[in-house]
Each structure stands twice: as C-alpha cells, then as structure tokens.
C-alpha cells in the first residue's frame, strides 16, 4: 500500500499540465459541437434570469451571474427533449457575467457552465463539464439523483482520500435539474398581511407535505403540496386551533443526500438547500416550469386571509454540495473559493454546520446572495419572517461568533428585513457556537433551555425549582438586556428535531432503526420519561398517565411568558414510533395522522390545546410585552408576579434552593405595563397557576388577601376533558388537593 503522499503524486501525474486529468482516466470522448445562440450585452443587475422587453421591443431574458474568479461563463438553454444550446456571456461588469438573449421566454430551462482552473489544492474547482444551477434561479425543474456524473471529481477514484483532486470530465447536464425562467405576473394589492405583534404570536411548526399528505379533507391530487396547505380543510384546522403563524420546514429547493439515496431513502425535512430563490418543486401540484411560484404565492394569500402569518425555516449556513467529496451542483462550480469557507490548506472546507461546508457570509457577494433571497421572499413571495437554521454560523466573522458581524449588521439596517419576524436557532456545531441569549434586539431565539427545563420538571428530574421559575416567566436571566423583551424567547417543548410530544412520554430512548444508521443517529439526550413502559402499550393506566403528561406539557407551554411554538400533530398525539431524527422518513412516520382527531383518546387533547390558545389570546397577562418586576405597585403590596409554596406562603430564598416538585405562580392582571391602542391602561384578570410534578397528591393552600378572596378553577389537567362552564370556586386561605402530576390554573375572583 502506497503512502498518502505517494498517492497524491500519482493523482497529480495523471492530470494534464493545466490541472485537467488525462482523457484515459474517464474514457471521455470529444463531444459533438453544441449549437450556439445570439446574445446581446444585457445588464449586470439584477442577478439571475429576468424576463423583460429589450430596448428594441424584442422580448427576451437577461441573465446575470456573479463568478468572481472564473475565466468564462456559458449560458446553456434546453428544449423539451433536453437538447442544449449555448450562449457565451462575454460581458463582465464587477465580476458579474451577463447577457440578454432575445426570444427566451418564461418556462425556458437553463443552467451555466463555468470555465476556470482545476486546482483543488488552492480551492479552485472549476469544471465546465458540470452544468450548474443558477444561484438566483427562481424555479427549478427536475430532481437531483446524484449519479457519479454530477461530481466535479472522480467520485469512485480508488484512493478516496485524493479522489477530490482528480477532475471528472463527464457531462452532468442529463442528470441534473435546470433553472426555469419565471415571469413576474403577480401583485400583492389584494393581500393583507396579518402583522401579528410578537407578544401575541403562537407559532405552529409544520412540514408542507407531512401536514397535508394524509388529510382526508384535502383532494388526493393536492395532498403534500402548497395548494394542499392552502385548501380550506387545512386552513380550517389552523384557525380552529388558534395559531397565528405557521413556520414551514425548508421550502427552498433542496437536494437529497447521496448516503440516503444509496439506502433507498430521501431527505424529508429539506435542510439541504441548493436554490435560495426557488420554492421546492416537489411540493407543487400545478407543475414545475414556474407554476410552483404562483402556487406558493396563492398559499401565502390563503393563509393571510385567515389571519395566519407565514414564517420560513431557512438554511443559509450550508448547501447541498457538502465537502470536498460532495457533488458539484451550483456554487462549488461557480466559484468555490468565493462562496465557501475553506480551511487553511484551501482544499478542504471549514465545517461549522456538521453538513460538510459553511457559506462564507463575510464575503460581500455571499452576503448579497442571502439578503437578496430574504428580500425576494418578503417582497415578491409575501412571507412574514424567517427562522434561521444554525444562525450562529451566519454570525461568525472570520472564525468566532460575532454579534457585530456583517450579516447581523446588514439585517439590522435593511429597510425590508428589519421589519419582519427574525428567529435564530442560536447555535452551530463549531467552537463557541452556543449563543442562546446573545443575539441582539430585533431577534427572537429558540430557547432550548426552556425545552430542557420543562421536560426535566415534568419527569421530576430538577434538583429545585429555580430554573423553572425563570422559564415560566420569560427567561429574564437570558433576555432582559439591551431592550429585549420576553418575546425574545421562543418557548418550545418539542420541535421537528427530536421526539414528538407523545413519544416524549412514551419512550425513554430513541428508536431510529428505520433510518438505516444502526440507531447511531439522533441525540441520546432526550430528557424523556416513558411512564414506566417503553413504547406503545395496552395498559390503560399507563396510557392515561401519558395523556395527562401531554396535557401538563402543553398547558405549561401555553401559560409561559414568551412566544409558544407547537409542532404540527402534537395537539393530536402524533407519534413517530420513537424515532427522534425522522429527517429521512418521508412516509407515515413523518406525516401527520389525521385519524387521531376523531379518536376519543386524543380528541380532548386538541380541544384543550385550542382552549389554552384562546385563553392566551383573551388575557394579556399571559402574553406580556415587558418582563415582570416582582415589585409591589400599589399600597396593598400586590406584586405583578409572586411565587408560592404549597403552604400558601411566598417563596423565600431557601425555598428556591430546596428540593421541590410543586410551584405556585401568581400573575397579577392589575400591573401590566403599557397601554392599549386607545391609550388606556391594560387591565386583566389575575391568575394562580399551580404546577405539581410529584407522583402523589399535594395539599396547596390558596393565598389569601391581598392576593384574592376566592379562586375559580379554569384548567385542571387531571381531567381528560375540560368544561366550558364556570369552574369550581374555592375560598382563599383554604387548601385544595392537587392530584399527582397536575396543573391547576385558577382565576382570581374578588
């Protein structure tokens, strides 16, 4: 066996002087001449393909591509039979290659071939044999199958550790999707954005396909599509539930990972973007030659008409081209060194994402790509905000996470983007990447400390209740700085990544065998409790306990200060059979089971969730716009927030540090900061929430004056079904029995 250095030398010898491999390596024969098309100079802006009428009245399309270090760019046009014509773009303005091609109309499929040096040792990976997707393509036709021909290097080179240095000259055009020219024919004059204030928001994370694929009220041909999500049956569920925004798992055009395709699986979640302007074609019912754009817009309009905002989960931290052994689909072939962060040796990629590559956001043209994409989805596609996957990777300047980074600075001053909802997943996988609580004002964050604390409380695994107090009241320890508000915290117990809510109380460990990775994938830190039995069971006592735990978790989430986020199907008891990493389960494991809505065991969970959201909507004390002060604001000593022990006494410093399973939280509706839209003080009812995670019942003495004269039970999670009639009243100063593992919400009366 030769050494690595010797194998690299052999690979170099097998390449020609300009870095190209000898023809014998791939057995490539000269291709027949390709027809050319006339091209005019055109304009360098806007980037991408824009249909327009030229100065002489001739309709056509202007093409513009940034390719900073390239030596030449060819535009490739494809007819219905896949036959190719080429136009060499000879105009170069500020590193943008551009040209106007007459008679190229909407629906035309296209791609690019970019010429330059092949020198992976310096990060140069140009290969004109590979057809490249336009980074600004607004529609994509076709799917990525990832055969060997779509790799810029010889994927199956015997010495894999040097395979990325040997260029593959086979034509990839027959095997890759094409960009599509799109006509801008929609205006938003009749659209009314809901513009829901952050404090009033309830977010519902859903997958376009998974939410609609099994819905019996949606026509079969629309299930799994944008049109399916726009269907009245889908919208009706969202309205009945009461959520104010849907957060869509990635809908940018994405590719399936090679390791999944080899196992007969597909990327389901879509965190493998390759087209930042194009709605994923696989979710279109109307067609993929530009029709997906109009279908997406109609979906947004339908949701807006129902008062529901649309937030996109976006993946600008990496692309589907992976590392040096990944395929050449777009940016890697346009200008590898210009788009990606490279390690000091330039051949390999800096990977802060765990996906093989990281976009080099400090580069002006990369920053422009991202911000152009964001503005496009707001102004032309109508969306209302974004959740940024691994946002810490975007906030890195050179290496470290920097809250004064170019990306955050540009967003803060952008007149369009600073007005929409911005949610950070405030971490990445690199050193120093965990940044919960560190993002600047304007941003909200996924609060994983909320998730972990609530899970631990209800499985009775917290040493004391200090952490729980912070999480219930808005996480002021994380966000009360720099003018941030309680709604900087997006509170969640579950997300797409991890157990569903039902699985959280049904499984103690992951069961990811269906993913084909030997159950090695997915986190082992689930903070789950299976209620004594692993998996599904016929034991009715265990099933009843699990349903109670679900009610506890949902009630805690929707009573907490901050912005609650639910996951589609959790309100129905959806299960993934213990799979906590269903990213490749495009099947019934990953899809919502709508039969649960009619199941007598699970229907009450939906009714409770809807009731809690309505309660939150009706009571501003549950959705405060400012942090609690904990101080008395009136002569009677009543504070806006107070904490109580089961003895009915206010908690002392020692109580916070003592082992406990019970916490009483008093929320005063008399001391809500701010005024309503008419300038009047905001007044509300006051509430006492008692959360008891212990197994045995506890006697909780209700606080007397000045806190209350009597209390009325509003929610009791010990009951399968909640009554809409007035609840039982209890005099202040008397004990109530709180069953084991129960939340009681009581309204102050008198």
Give the catalytic positions in this structure: 389, 425
Please state at what angle helix 291-305 crosses helix 232-241, rounded to 10 degrees.
Answer: 40
Q: Are 206 and 246 in contact (CB under 8 A)?
A: yes
d(CA 174, CA 370): 29
**Dihedral class, residue 390 (left if φ above 0, else alpha if ψ from -120 to 50, else beta):** left
Strands 84-89 and 96-102: unpaired
Q: Are 165 and 120 in contact (CB under 8 A)?
A: yes
d(CA 155, CA 52): 40
**Tokens at 609, concatenated:** 């969730």
d(CA 623, CA 486): 9
d(CA 229, CA 236): 10
Q: Which residues contact 42 (CB under 8 A, 6 or more apart)?
A: 62, 63, 64, 91, 98, 99, 100, 101
3-state secondary structure of 321: coil
d(CA 181, CA 471): 49
d(CA 279, CA 270): 11
The helix (run of H) or strand (run of E) holding residue 600 is: none
Place of tokens 């006494």: 649
Sheet holding 91-93, edge to edge: 48-53, 59-66, 96-102, 91-93
**Pure H helices in 402-521:** 406-413, 448-458, 466-472, 476-479, 501-504
d(CA 664, CA 66): 59
Q: Are 245 and 310 in contact (CB under 8 A)?
A: yes
**Tokens at 517, concatenated:** 């990775």
d(CA 510, CA 283): 29
Annotate 203-252 with DSSP letters as a single string: EEEE-HHHHHTT-TTS-GGGTTSHHHHHSHHHHHHHHHHT-SEEEES--E
**Rg of the chain, C-alpha, whole Å:** 28
d(CA 391, CA 439): 10
Helix, strand, coil percentages, rounded to 5, for the chain: 25, 20, 50
Strands 245-248 and 309-314: parallel
């Amino acid at each position: 066996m030769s050494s690595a250095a010797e194998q690299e030398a052999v690979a170099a010898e097998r390449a020609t002087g300009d870095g190209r491999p000898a023809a014998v390596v791939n057995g490539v024969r000269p291709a027949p001449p390709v027809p050319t098309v006339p091209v005019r100079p055109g304009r360098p802006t806007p980037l991408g393909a824009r249909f327009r009428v030229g100065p002489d009245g001739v309709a056509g399309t202007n093409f513009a591509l940034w390719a900073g270090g390239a030596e030449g760019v060819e535009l490739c046009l494809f007819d219905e039979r896949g036959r190719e014509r080429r136009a060499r773009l000879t105009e170069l303005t500020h590193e943008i290659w551009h040209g106007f091609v007459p008679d190229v109309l909407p629906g035309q499929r296209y791609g690019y071939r970019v010429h330059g040096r092949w020198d992976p040792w310096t990060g140069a990976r140009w290969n004109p044999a590979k057809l490249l997707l336009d980074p600004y393509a607004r529609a994509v036709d076709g799917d990525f199958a990832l055969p060997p021909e779509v790799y810029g290097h010889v994927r199956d080179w015997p010495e894999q550790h040097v395979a990325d240095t040997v260029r593959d000259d086979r034509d990839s055009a027959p095997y890759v999707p094409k960009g599509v020219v799109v006509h801008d024919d929609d205006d938003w004059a009749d659209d009314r954005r809901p513009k829901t204030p952050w404090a009033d928001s309830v977010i519902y994370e859903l997958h376009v396909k998974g939410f609609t694929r099994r819905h019996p009220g949606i026509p079969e041909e629309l299930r799994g599509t944008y049109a399916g999500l726009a269907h009245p049956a889908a919208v009706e569920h969202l309205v009945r539930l009461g959520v104010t925004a849907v957060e869509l798992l990635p809908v940018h055009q994405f590719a399936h990972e090679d390791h999944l395709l080899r196992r007969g699986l597909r990327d389901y979640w879509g965190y493998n973007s390759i087209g930042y302007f194009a709605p994923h074609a696989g979710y279109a019912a109307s067609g993929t030659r530009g029709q997906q754009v109009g279908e997406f817009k109609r979906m947004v309009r339908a949701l807006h008409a129902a008062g529901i905002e649309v937030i996109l989960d976006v993946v600008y931290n990496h692309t589907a081209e992976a590392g040096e052994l990944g395929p050449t689909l777009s940016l890697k072939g346009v200008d590898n060194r210009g788009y990606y962060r490279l390690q000091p040796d330039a051949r390999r990629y800096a990977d802060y994402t765990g996906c093989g590559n990281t976009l080099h956001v400090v580069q002006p043209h990369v920053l422009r790509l991202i911000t152009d994409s964001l503005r496009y989805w707001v102004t032309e596609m109508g969306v209302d905000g974004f959740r940024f996957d691994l946002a810490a990777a975007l906030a890195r300047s050179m290496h470290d996470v920097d809250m004064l980074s170019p990306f955050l600075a540009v967003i803060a001053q952008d007149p369009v983007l600073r007005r929409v909802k911005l949610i950070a997943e405030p971490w990445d996988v690199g050193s120093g990447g965990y940044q919960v609580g560190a993002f600047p004002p304007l941003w909200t964050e996924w609060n994983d400390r909320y998730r972990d604390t609530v899970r631990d409380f209800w499985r009775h695994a917290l040493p004391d209740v200090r952490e729980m107090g912070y999480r219930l009241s808005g996480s002021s320890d994380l966000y009360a700085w720099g003018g941030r508000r309680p709604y900087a915290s997006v509170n969640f117990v579950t997300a797409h990544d991890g157990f569903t809510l039902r699985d959280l109380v049904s499984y103690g460990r992951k069961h990811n065998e269906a993913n084909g990775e030997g159950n090695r994938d997915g986190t082992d830190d689930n903070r789950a409790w299976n209620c004594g039995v692993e998996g599904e069971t016929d034991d009715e006592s265990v099933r009843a306990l699990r349903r109670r735990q679900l009610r506890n978790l949902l009630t805690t989430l929707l009573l907490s200060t901050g912005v609650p986020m639910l996951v589609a199907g959790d309100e129905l008891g959806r299960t993934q059979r213990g799979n906590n990493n269903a990213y490749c389960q495009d099947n019934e494991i990953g899809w919502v089971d709508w039969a649960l809505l009619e199941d007598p065991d699970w229907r009450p969970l939906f009714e409770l969730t809807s009731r809690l959201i309505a309660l939150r909507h009706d009571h501003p004390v549950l959705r405060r716009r400012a942090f609690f002060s904990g101080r008395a604001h009136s002569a009677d000593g009543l504070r806006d927030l107070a904490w109580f022990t089961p003895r009915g006494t206010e908690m002392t410093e020692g109580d916070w540090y003592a082992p406990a399973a019970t916490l009483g939280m008093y929320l005063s509706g008399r001391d809500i900061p701010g005024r309503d839209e008419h300038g009047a003080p905001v007044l509300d009812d006051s509430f006492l929430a008692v959360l008891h995670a212990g197994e045995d019942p506890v006697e909780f003495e209700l606080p007397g004056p000045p806190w209350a004269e009597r209390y009325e039970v509003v929610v009791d999670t010990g009951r399968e079904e909640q009554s809409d009639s007035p609840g039982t009243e209890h005099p202040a100063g008397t004990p109530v029995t709180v069953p084991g593992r129960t939340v009681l919400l009581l309204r102050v009366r008198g």
